[in-house]
C-alpha cells in the first residue's frame, strides 16, 4: 500500500463547530483500520480540540498518563509543531528539524499523531514572513517522508483551525485535497461561496488543490429530511457555479454523515461508533475516487 508520497488532505471551514475535528479523527480511525495503511494526523488548531480529546482517558475526565508524559517531553525537547515552525522561520539558516517519534506520537501501530500547542495562538502576532511560511508544511512533510526513523505514511490528515492562519495557508498551499464539511443550515451555502471564491487568490502562486465539500450532521428521519436535501442542492449549486467561474476543481460529494450523538464519544473511546462506520467508509471511498 505504501506509495512514495503520502496523499495529504486538509479539513477546513471558516466556521467552527461544523465537524472538522470529528471528521478528521473519524476518517483517520477508519482508514488506519485497513491493514498496512499508515495514517498521520495533525492538529493545527491552537484551540487544541483534537489534542485535548486524545489526551483524555476513556472516562472523559482524567488524563491519559502515557500521552501526557510524551507530550511534556516533546515540549521540553522543543520538538513540537511550533518549534518546527520557529526553526524554519529563522532567517539565513537551513531548516534543521529531524522528524522522529519525539515529534510524532503513536496512537496505534497505524495511526500516528502530531499534537497542537498553545504557542500557535500567538503565532499570528510574531513577525513571520508570510510568503516564506507558506512553504513550511511542504518542507516539514519533506522531513517526515525522508526520515529513516519514521514509517512511510499512506495518508496525512490535517485538522485546521476555523480561521485562516499562516499555518492553514501553508497546508492549503501543498495538500492534495481540501475537504470542507458543511451543516444543513441557511448560512452554509453563503459560507461555501465565500471560501470557494477566495481560496484561489489567497493561495497563489501555489496551485489550488482539489476541493471536496460534503454534508455533516445531515438530519434523517429514516431517510434524509426535506430540509437537509434542500440545503444539499443549494450547496451543490454553489460548488458548480464556483467551479465554473473560478475554473477550480470543486465538487459537492454525494456521501453525507448523519447527525448522531454517538459521535461525541468517537475520539475518547477510540473508535467511530458502529452506526457511523458505513457513512464514513462511503465518504472515504468517494474522496479516493475523486482524488484519482
The entry of Mg ion, ligand ADP, none that residue 116 binds, CB within 5 to 8 Å by partner kind: none
19 binds, among ligand ADP, Mg ion, none (CB under 5 to 8 A by kind): ligand ADP
Judged by CB under 6 A, does residue 216 bind ligand ADP? Answer: yes
The three cell numbers locating residue 237:
449549486
C-alpha cell at 54: 486524545
20 lines the binding site for Mg ion (CB under 5 A): yes
Q: Which is nearer to ligand ADP, 21 or 228 (CB)?
A: 21
CB of 291 to Mg ion, least distance (A): 23
Query: Using CB under 5 A, which of 8, 11, 49, 51 touches Mg ion?
Result: 49
The CA distances from residue 84 to 20, 31, 249, in Å, are: 24, 27, 31
Residue span binding Mg ion (CB under 5 A) among the ranges 46-54, 56-64, 222-230, 247-255? 46-54
Q: What are phi and psi of 257, to 5 degrees?
A: -110, 125
Residue 159: CB minimum distance to Mg ion, A: 6
Residues 260-289 that bind ligand ADP (CB under 6 A): 260-261, 263-264
Chosen from Mg ion, ligand ADP, none, partner binding at 17 (C-beta under 5 to 8 Å by type): ligand ADP
CA–CA distance, 231 with 28 (Å, rounded to integer): 27
CA 242, CA 248: separation in Å to the nearest integer? Answer: 7
Closest by alpha carbon to 179, among 3, 10, 4, 16? 10
Per DSSP, the residues of 35-49 read TT--EEEEE--TT-H
Q: Which of 9, 10, 19, 234 binds ligand ADP (CB under 6 A)?
A: 19
For ligand ADP, the binding residue among 9, 12, 21, 213 (CB under 6 A) is 21
**Ranges within 104-163 binding Mg ion (CB under 5 A):** none
Q: Does 79 bind ligand ADP (CB under 6 A)?
A: no
Strand 210-218: give its sheet, edge to edge.
Answer: 105-106, 111-114, 39-43, 155-159, 7-11, 177-182, 210-218, 250-258
Cell numbers placing 143? 522531513
Nearest residue to Mg ion on Cβ basis:
21
Amino acid at each position: 500500500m505504501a506509495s512514495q508520497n503520502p496523499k495529504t488532505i486538509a479539513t477546513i471551514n471558516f466556521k467552527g463547530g461544523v465537524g472538522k475535528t470529528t471528521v478528521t479523527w473519524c476518517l483517520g480511525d477508519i482508514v488506519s483500520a485497513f491493514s498496512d495503511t499508515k495514517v498521520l494526523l495533525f492538529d493545527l488548531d491552537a484551540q487544541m480540540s483534537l489534542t485535548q480529546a486524545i489526551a483524555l482517558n476513556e472516562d472523559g475526565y482524567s488524563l491519559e498518563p502515557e500521552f501526557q508524559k510524551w507530550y511534556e517531553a516533546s515540549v521540553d525537547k522543543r520538538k513540537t509543531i511550533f518549534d518546527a515552525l520557529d526553526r524554519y522561520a529563522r532567517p539565513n539558516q537551513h531548516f534543521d528539524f529531524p522528524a522522529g517519534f519525539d515529534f510524532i506520537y503513536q496512537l496505534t501501530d497505524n495511526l500516528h499523531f502530531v499534537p497542537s500547542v498553545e504557542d500557535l495562538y500567538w503565532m499570528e502576532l510574531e513577525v513571520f514572513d508570510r510568503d516564506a511560511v507558506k512553504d513550511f508544511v511542504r518542507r516539514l512533510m519533506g522531513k517526515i517522508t525522508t526520515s529513516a526513523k519514521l514509517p512511510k505514511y499512506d495518508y496525512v490528515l490535517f485538522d485546521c483551525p476555523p480561521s485562516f492562519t499562516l499555518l492553514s495557508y501553508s497546508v492549503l498551499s501543498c495538500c492534495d485535497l481540501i475537504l470542507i464539511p458543511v451543516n444543513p443550515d441557511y448560512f452554509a451555502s453563503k459560507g461555501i461561496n465565500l471560501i470557494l471564491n477566495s481560496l484561489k487568490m489567497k493561495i497563489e502562486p501555489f496551485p489550488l488543490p482539489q476541493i471536496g465539500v460534503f454534508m455533516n450532521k445531515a438530519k434523517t428521519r429514516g431517510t434524509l429530511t426535506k430540509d437537509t436535501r434542500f440545503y444539499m442542492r443549494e450547496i451543490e449549486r454553489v460548488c458548480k457555479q464556483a467551479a465554473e467561474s473560478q475554473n477550480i476543481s470543486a465538487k459537492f460529494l454525494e456521501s453525507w454523515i448523519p447527525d448522531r450523538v454517538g459521535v461525541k464519544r468517537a475520539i475518547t473511546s477510540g473508535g467511530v461508533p458502529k452506526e457511523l462506520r458505513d457513512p464514513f467508509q462511503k465518504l472515504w471511498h468517494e474522496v479516493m475516487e475523486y482524488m484519482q
